[in-house]
Amino acid sequence: MLENFMEILRKNHRSIAFAEGTDPRIIQAACRLRDEGILTPVLIGNRQIIDGAAVRAGCDVRDIEVIDPHKYEHIDVMVKVMVKARNGKLTEEQARATLMQPHYFGTMLLKTGMVDAHLCGAVYTTADTVRAALQLLKTSPGNSMVSSCFILIREDDMKCFADCGLNISYEDTLDKKGNVIRSASDKLAEVAHQTAITAKAFGMDPKVAFLSYSTKGSGHGPEVDLMRDACYLFKKKYPEFPADGEMQYDCAVVPEVGQRKMPGSIVAGHANTFIFPDISAGNIGYKLFQYAGGYYALGPILQGLGGPMNDLSRGCNVEEVYLMSIITAAMGIFADRFKV
Protein backbone atom coordinates (compact mmCIF):
# COMPACT_ATOMS: atom_id res chain seq x y z
CA MET A 1 0.00 0.00 0.00
CA LEU A 2 2.82 2.39 0.87
CA GLU A 3 4.64 1.53 -2.37
CA ASN A 4 1.42 2.38 -4.18
CA PHE A 5 1.11 5.69 -2.29
CA MET A 6 4.71 6.57 -3.22
CA GLU A 7 4.25 5.75 -6.89
CA ILE A 8 1.15 7.93 -7.14
CA LEU A 9 2.85 10.78 -5.29
CA ARG A 10 5.78 10.60 -7.72
CA LYS A 11 3.32 11.05 -10.59
CA ASN A 12 1.20 13.74 -8.89
CA HIS A 13 3.33 16.59 -7.66
CA ARG A 14 2.50 17.45 -4.02
CA SER A 15 4.10 19.67 -1.38
CA ILE A 16 4.13 19.17 2.38
CA ALA A 17 4.88 21.71 5.10
CA PHE A 18 6.75 20.76 8.26
CA ALA A 19 6.03 23.04 11.21
CA GLU A 20 9.16 21.90 13.04
CA GLY A 21 11.60 22.83 10.29
CA THR A 22 14.65 23.07 12.56
CA ASP A 23 14.32 19.53 13.96
CA PRO A 24 17.06 17.23 12.58
CA ARG A 25 14.60 14.31 12.12
CA ILE A 26 12.35 16.55 10.03
CA ILE A 27 15.28 17.88 7.99
CA GLN A 28 16.57 14.37 7.26
CA ALA A 29 13.13 13.07 6.28
CA ALA A 30 12.50 16.15 4.11
CA CYS A 31 15.77 15.58 2.26
CA ARG A 32 14.94 11.93 1.71
CA LEU A 33 11.50 12.79 0.30
CA ARG A 34 13.12 15.37 -2.00
CA ASP A 35 15.92 13.03 -3.11
CA GLU A 36 13.49 10.21 -3.90
CA GLY A 37 11.22 12.60 -5.83
CA ILE A 38 8.18 11.70 -3.69
CA LEU A 39 7.24 15.09 -2.24
CA THR A 40 8.34 18.72 -2.26
CA PRO A 41 9.08 19.62 1.37
CA VAL A 42 8.57 23.11 2.78
CA LEU A 43 10.32 23.83 6.08
CA ILE A 44 8.84 26.38 8.46
CA GLY A 45 11.30 28.43 10.51
CA ASN A 46 14.24 30.76 10.29
CA ARG A 47 16.50 30.10 7.26
CA GLN A 48 19.75 30.60 9.16
CA ILE A 49 18.75 28.30 12.02
CA ILE A 50 17.51 25.65 9.58
CA ASP A 51 20.71 25.85 7.53
CA GLY A 52 22.79 25.40 10.69
CA ALA A 53 20.67 22.45 11.86
CA ALA A 54 20.92 20.90 8.37
CA VAL A 55 24.72 21.09 8.36
CA ARG A 56 24.79 19.39 11.78
CA ALA A 57 22.37 16.72 10.45
CA GLY A 58 24.59 16.17 7.39
CA CYS A 59 21.96 17.47 4.95
CA ASP A 60 21.94 20.03 2.17
CA VAL A 61 18.72 22.04 2.27
CA ARG A 62 19.77 24.90 0.02
CA ASP A 63 17.16 24.00 -2.62
CA ILE A 64 14.38 23.37 -0.08
CA GLU A 65 11.86 26.19 0.40
CA VAL A 66 11.93 27.69 3.88
CA ILE A 67 9.09 29.94 5.06
CA ASP A 68 9.60 32.10 8.10
CA PRO A 69 6.28 33.21 9.67
CA HIS A 70 7.97 36.45 10.76
CA LYS A 71 8.85 37.35 7.15
CA TYR A 72 5.90 35.78 5.30
CA GLU A 73 4.77 38.06 2.47
CA HIS A 74 1.11 36.94 2.49
CA ILE A 75 0.65 37.24 6.25
CA ASP A 76 -2.11 39.89 5.96
CA VAL A 77 -4.26 37.61 3.80
CA MET A 78 -3.55 34.70 6.14
CA VAL A 79 -4.64 36.77 9.16
CA LYS A 80 -7.95 37.60 7.45
CA VAL A 81 -8.63 33.95 6.53
CA MET A 82 -7.79 32.90 10.08
CA VAL A 83 -10.07 35.48 11.70
CA LYS A 84 -12.90 34.33 9.42
CA ALA A 85 -12.24 30.67 10.25
CA ARG A 86 -12.34 31.40 13.98
CA ASN A 87 -15.63 33.21 13.50
CA GLY A 88 -15.45 35.91 16.18
CA LYS A 89 -13.16 33.99 18.55
CA LEU A 90 -9.99 35.82 17.50
CA THR A 91 -9.18 39.46 16.70
CA GLU A 92 -6.79 40.33 13.87
CA GLU A 93 -4.13 41.18 16.42
CA GLN A 94 -4.54 37.84 18.19
CA ALA A 95 -4.50 35.95 14.88
CA ARG A 96 -1.27 37.69 13.83
CA ALA A 97 0.39 36.75 17.14
CA THR A 98 -0.93 33.15 16.99
CA LEU A 99 0.43 32.74 13.47
CA MET A 100 3.97 33.27 14.74
CA GLN A 101 3.61 29.80 16.28
CA PRO A 102 4.76 27.35 13.58
CA HIS A 103 2.00 24.76 14.17
CA TYR A 104 -0.71 27.38 13.56
CA PHE A 105 1.25 28.88 10.66
CA GLY A 106 1.68 25.47 8.97
CA THR A 107 -1.99 24.68 9.41
CA MET A 108 -2.85 27.99 7.78
CA LEU A 109 -0.42 27.36 4.90
CA LEU A 110 -2.50 24.26 4.21
CA LYS A 111 -5.82 26.04 4.68
CA THR A 112 -4.85 28.83 2.27
CA GLY A 113 -3.69 26.29 -0.34
CA MET A 114 -0.01 27.27 -0.24
CA VAL A 115 0.92 23.65 0.47
CA ASP A 116 -0.92 20.37 -0.15
CA ALA A 117 -0.32 18.75 3.25
CA HIS A 118 1.01 19.54 6.72
CA LEU A 119 2.82 17.47 9.32
CA CYS A 120 3.55 18.53 12.89
CA GLY A 121 4.12 16.96 16.29
CA ALA A 122 7.83 16.05 16.44
CA VAL A 123 8.16 18.82 19.03
CA TYR A 124 4.58 19.99 19.69
CA THR A 125 2.31 17.77 21.76
CA THR A 126 -0.59 15.93 20.15
CA ALA A 127 -3.03 18.22 21.96
CA ASP A 128 -1.35 21.36 20.54
CA THR A 129 -1.08 19.96 17.03
CA VAL A 130 -4.62 18.61 16.94
CA ARG A 131 -6.14 21.74 18.50
CA ALA A 132 -4.74 23.91 15.67
CA ALA A 133 -6.10 21.43 13.11
CA LEU A 134 -9.55 21.28 14.71
CA GLN A 135 -9.85 25.03 15.11
CA LEU A 136 -8.79 25.90 11.58
CA LEU A 137 -9.37 22.96 9.24
CA LYS A 138 -12.47 21.67 11.05
CA THR A 139 -14.28 18.62 9.69
CA SER A 140 -14.49 17.51 6.06
CA PRO A 141 -17.91 17.27 4.37
CA GLY A 142 -19.99 14.38 5.68
CA ASN A 143 -18.25 14.32 9.06
CA SER A 144 -19.41 15.87 12.31
CA MET A 145 -16.25 15.11 14.26
CA VAL A 146 -12.58 14.28 13.89
CA SER A 147 -11.00 11.15 15.34
CA SER A 148 -7.71 9.28 15.05
CA CYS A 149 -6.54 5.76 14.46
CA PHE A 150 -3.34 3.74 14.47
CA ILE A 151 -2.40 1.08 11.94
CA LEU A 152 -0.47 -1.73 13.63
CA ILE A 153 1.71 -3.86 11.40
CA ARG A 154 3.69 -7.03 12.07
CA GLU A 155 4.82 -9.10 9.09
CA ASP A 156 1.64 -9.71 7.09
CA ASP A 157 -0.73 -8.89 9.95
CA MET A 158 -2.43 -5.49 9.98
CA LYS A 159 -4.83 -4.08 12.55
CA CYS A 160 -6.57 -0.76 12.90
CA PHE A 161 -7.18 0.72 16.40
CA ALA A 162 -9.32 3.76 17.30
CA ASP A 163 -9.59 6.18 18.91
CA CYS A 164 -6.21 6.07 20.63
CA GLY A 165 -5.17 9.69 20.29
CA LEU A 166 -7.87 12.33 20.07
CA ASN A 167 -11.34 11.85 21.59
CA ILE A 168 -10.81 11.38 25.30
CA SER A 169 -14.28 10.00 25.99
CA TYR A 170 -17.78 10.08 24.54
CA GLU A 171 -20.62 11.96 26.16
CA ASP A 172 -24.20 12.70 25.20
CA THR A 173 -24.74 16.19 23.81
CA LEU A 174 -27.67 17.80 25.60
CA ASP A 175 -29.85 20.77 24.78
CA LYS A 176 -30.60 23.50 27.34
CA LYS A 177 -33.44 21.44 28.80
CA GLY A 178 -31.22 18.40 29.27
CA ASN A 179 -32.63 16.40 26.36
CA VAL A 180 -30.16 14.28 24.42
CA ILE A 181 -29.63 15.78 20.99
CA ARG A 182 -26.82 13.42 20.11
CA SER A 183 -25.91 10.32 22.02
CA ALA A 184 -22.38 9.25 22.95
CA SER A 185 -23.01 5.96 21.16
CA ASP A 186 -23.88 7.77 17.93
CA LYS A 187 -20.56 9.64 18.13
CA LEU A 188 -18.67 6.40 18.69
CA ALA A 189 -20.48 4.81 15.74
CA GLU A 190 -19.21 7.69 13.57
CA VAL A 191 -15.65 7.16 14.82
CA ALA A 192 -15.97 3.46 13.98
CA HIS A 193 -17.18 4.31 10.48
CA GLN A 194 -14.25 6.68 9.89
CA THR A 195 -11.92 3.95 11.12
CA ALA A 196 -13.41 1.28 8.86
CA ILE A 197 -12.88 3.61 5.89
CA THR A 198 -9.26 4.27 6.88
CA ALA A 199 -8.70 0.52 7.26
CA LYS A 200 -10.10 0.02 3.76
CA ALA A 201 -7.86 2.75 2.36
CA PHE A 202 -4.91 0.80 3.76
CA GLY A 203 -5.97 -2.28 1.83
CA MET A 204 -7.70 -4.07 4.69
CA ASP A 205 -11.07 -5.77 4.57
CA PRO A 206 -12.48 -4.21 7.76
CA LYS A 207 -14.23 -6.40 10.32
CA VAL A 208 -15.16 -4.09 13.16
CA ALA A 209 -15.16 -5.18 16.82
CA PHE A 210 -16.58 -2.89 19.53
CA LEU A 211 -14.33 -3.82 22.43
CA SER A 212 -15.29 -4.09 26.07
CA TYR A 213 -14.65 -6.09 29.23
CA SER A 214 -17.96 -7.78 28.45
CA THR A 215 -19.13 -10.04 25.63
CA LYS A 216 -22.82 -9.82 24.74
CA GLY A 217 -24.00 -8.81 28.19
CA SER A 218 -21.64 -10.98 30.28
CA GLY A 219 -20.69 -7.82 32.20
CA HIS A 220 -22.61 -4.70 33.10
CA GLY A 221 -21.88 -0.99 33.32
CA PRO A 222 -22.13 2.26 31.38
CA GLU A 223 -19.11 1.44 29.16
CA VAL A 224 -20.72 -1.87 28.21
CA ASP A 225 -23.93 -0.05 27.27
CA LEU A 226 -21.92 2.47 25.24
CA MET A 227 -20.19 -0.20 23.15
CA ARG A 228 -23.36 -2.28 22.67
CA ASP A 229 -25.40 0.76 21.59
CA ALA A 230 -22.64 2.10 19.34
CA CYS A 231 -22.39 -1.29 17.64
CA TYR A 232 -26.16 -1.42 17.16
CA LEU A 233 -26.17 2.04 15.55
CA PHE A 234 -23.13 1.23 13.42
CA LYS A 235 -24.76 -1.91 12.02
CA LYS A 236 -27.92 0.01 11.23
CA LYS A 237 -26.19 3.01 9.63
CA TYR A 238 -23.25 1.38 7.88
CA PRO A 239 -24.34 -2.13 6.89
CA GLU A 240 -21.58 -2.28 4.27
CA PHE A 241 -19.04 -3.03 7.04
CA PRO A 242 -19.32 -6.24 9.10
CA ALA A 243 -19.36 -5.37 12.81
CA ASP A 244 -20.15 -6.94 16.14
CA GLY A 245 -20.04 -6.17 19.85
CA GLU A 246 -19.77 -5.50 22.57
CA MET A 247 -17.05 -8.12 22.86
CA GLN A 248 -13.80 -8.87 24.68
CA TYR A 249 -10.52 -8.90 22.77
CA ASP A 250 -10.10 -12.70 22.91
CA CYS A 251 -13.57 -13.13 21.46
CA ALA A 252 -12.65 -10.67 18.70
CA VAL A 253 -9.50 -12.46 17.52
CA VAL A 254 -9.51 -16.13 18.61
CA PRO A 255 -11.87 -18.06 16.29
CA GLU A 256 -12.73 -20.81 18.84
CA VAL A 257 -13.46 -18.26 21.58
CA GLY A 258 -15.41 -16.13 19.12
CA GLN A 259 -17.61 -19.04 18.07
CA ARG A 260 -18.15 -20.12 21.67
CA LYS A 261 -19.05 -16.66 22.98
CA MET A 262 -20.74 -15.29 19.86
CA PRO A 263 -21.88 -18.20 17.73
CA GLY A 264 -22.68 -17.23 14.15
CA SER A 265 -20.84 -13.91 14.24
CA ILE A 266 -18.73 -13.32 11.13
CA VAL A 267 -16.63 -10.79 13.03
CA ALA A 268 -15.92 -12.65 16.30
CA GLY A 269 -12.59 -14.42 15.97
CA HIS A 270 -11.68 -12.56 12.77
CA ALA A 271 -11.80 -8.86 13.69
CA ASN A 272 -9.09 -6.52 12.39
CA THR A 273 -10.59 -3.10 13.19
CA PHE A 274 -10.95 -2.39 16.89
CA ILE A 275 -13.01 0.34 18.51
CA PHE A 276 -12.15 1.23 22.11
CA PRO A 277 -14.49 2.74 24.70
CA ASP A 278 -12.17 5.68 25.45
CA ILE A 279 -8.69 7.08 24.79
CA SER A 280 -7.13 5.42 27.85
CA ALA A 281 -8.04 1.93 26.67
CA GLY A 282 -7.09 2.74 23.08
CA ASN A 283 -3.79 4.43 23.83
CA ILE A 284 -2.64 1.80 26.33
CA GLY A 285 -3.84 -0.94 23.99
CA TYR A 286 -1.91 0.19 20.92
CA LYS A 287 1.26 0.80 22.92
CA LEU A 288 1.06 -2.73 24.36
CA PHE A 289 0.95 -4.08 20.82
CA GLN A 290 3.82 -1.80 19.83
CA TYR A 291 6.18 -2.42 22.74
CA ALA A 292 5.18 -5.87 24.03
CA GLY A 293 3.85 -7.34 20.81
CA GLY A 294 6.51 -6.12 18.39
CA TYR A 295 4.07 -4.36 16.10
CA TYR A 296 5.02 -1.29 14.09
CA ALA A 297 2.57 1.53 14.93
CA LEU A 298 1.69 3.99 12.18
CA GLY A 299 -0.19 7.04 13.32
CA PRO A 300 -2.07 8.72 14.77
CA ILE A 301 -3.87 9.17 11.47
CA LEU A 302 -6.47 11.91 11.72
CA GLN A 303 -9.86 11.00 10.28
CA GLY A 304 -12.68 13.30 9.19
CA LEU A 305 -10.43 16.40 9.22
CA GLY A 306 -10.96 19.16 6.64
CA GLY A 307 -7.48 18.79 5.12
CA PRO A 308 -4.51 16.43 4.93
CA MET A 309 -2.68 17.06 8.18
CA ASN A 310 -1.31 14.61 10.71
CA ASP A 311 0.36 14.46 14.06
CA LEU A 312 3.74 12.89 14.78
CA SER A 313 4.80 11.31 18.02
CA ARG A 314 7.42 13.39 19.85
CA GLY A 315 9.47 10.20 20.07
CA CYS A 316 9.38 9.73 16.29
CA ASN A 317 12.42 8.84 14.22
CA VAL A 318 13.34 9.85 10.65
CA GLU A 319 11.67 6.76 9.15
CA GLU A 320 8.39 7.58 10.90
CA VAL A 321 8.46 11.19 9.69
CA TYR A 322 9.12 9.90 6.17
CA LEU A 323 6.24 7.39 6.28
CA MET A 324 3.77 9.78 7.88
CA SER A 325 4.62 12.39 5.23
CA ILE A 326 3.72 9.92 2.49
CA ILE A 327 0.50 8.88 4.22
CA THR A 328 -0.52 12.48 4.89
CA ALA A 329 0.04 13.65 1.32
CA ALA A 330 -1.63 10.51 -0.05
CA MET A 331 -4.68 11.31 2.11
CA GLY A 332 -5.08 14.45 0.05
CA ILE A 333 -4.85 12.59 -3.25
CA PHE A 334 -6.97 9.64 -2.19
CA ALA A 335 -9.63 11.93 -0.76
CA ASP A 336 -12.27 9.62 -2.22
CA ARG A 337 -10.75 6.57 -0.54
CA PHE A 338 -10.33 8.32 2.77
CA LYS A 339 -13.62 10.20 2.48
CA VAL A 340 -16.35 9.32 4.96
Ligand X SMILES: CC(C)(COP(=O)(O)OP(=O)(O)OC[C@H]1O[C@@H](n2cnc3c(N)ncnc32)[C@H](O)[C@@H]1OP(=O)(O)O)[C@@H](O)C(=O)NCCC(=O)NCCS
Strands 180-182 and 173-174 turn out to be: antiparallel
Q: What distance in Å separates the CA atoms of residue 286 and residue 283, rounded to the nearest whole number?
A: 5
Q: How far is the CB of 272 from ligand X (least distance, A)?
A: 21
Interface with ligand X, residue 81, by CB under 6 A: no
Interface with ligand X, residue 324, by CB under 6 A: no
Dihedral angle over CA of 190, 191, 196, 199, nearest 10: 150
Interface with ligand X, residue 182, by CB under 6 A: no
Interface with ligand X, residue 194, by CB under 6 A: no
Q: How far is the CB of 146 from ligand X (least distance, A)?
A: 4
Using the Cα atoms of residue 274, residue 279, residue 283 and residue 288 in order, give the sign of their dihedral: negative
Using the Cα atoms of residue 74, residue 80, residue 84 and residue 90 in order, give the sign of their dihedral: positive
The number of beta carbons lying within 10 Å of the beta carbon of residue 3 is 8
Interface with ligand X, residue 9, by CB under 6 A: no
* Cα Rg of the chain, angstroms: 21
- Closest by CA position to 20, among listed 332, 329, 312, 327: 312
Interface with ligand X, residue 97, by CB under 6 A: no
Interface with ligand X, residue 302, by CB under 6 A: no
Q: How far is the CB of 185 from ligand X (least distance, A)?
A: 15
Site string for ligand X, 268-297 (x = CB under 6 A): ---------------x--------------
Contact region for ligand X (CB under 6 A) — 35-43, 61-69, 70-78, 162-170?
162-170
Interface with ligand X, residue 145, by CB under 6 A: yes
Dihedral angle over CA of 189, 191, 192, 194, nearest 10: 120
Q: How far is the CB of 12 from ligand X (least distance, A)?
A: 28
Nearer to ligand X, 16 or 133 (CB): 133
Q: What distance in Å separates the CA atoms of residue 207 and residue 289, rounded to the nearest whole number?
A: 19
Given 21, 102, 165, 277, the residue binding ligand X (CB under 6 A):
165
Q: How far is the CB of 299 from ligand X (least distance, A)?
A: 8
Q: What distance in Å separates the CA atoms of residue 18 and residue 204, rounded to the nearest whole number?
A: 29
Interface with ligand X, residue 146, by CB under 6 A: yes
Nearer to ligand X, 9 or 130 (CB): 130
Which positions from 99 through 138 interact with ligand X, judged by CB under 6 A? Answer: 126-127, 130-131, 134-135
**E strand map for the chain:** 15-18, 40-44, 65-67, 117-120, 147-154, 157-162, 173-174, 180-182, 208-211, 243-247, 273-275, 296-303, 309-311
Interface with ligand X, residue 310, by CB under 6 A: no
The number of beta carbons lying within 10 Å of the beta carbon of residue 60 is 13
Interface with ligand X, residue 247, by CB under 6 A: no
Nearer to ligand X, 64 or 162 (CB): 162
List of residues contacting ligand X (CB under 6 A) = 126-127, 130-131, 134-135, 139, 145-146, 165-168, 283, 300
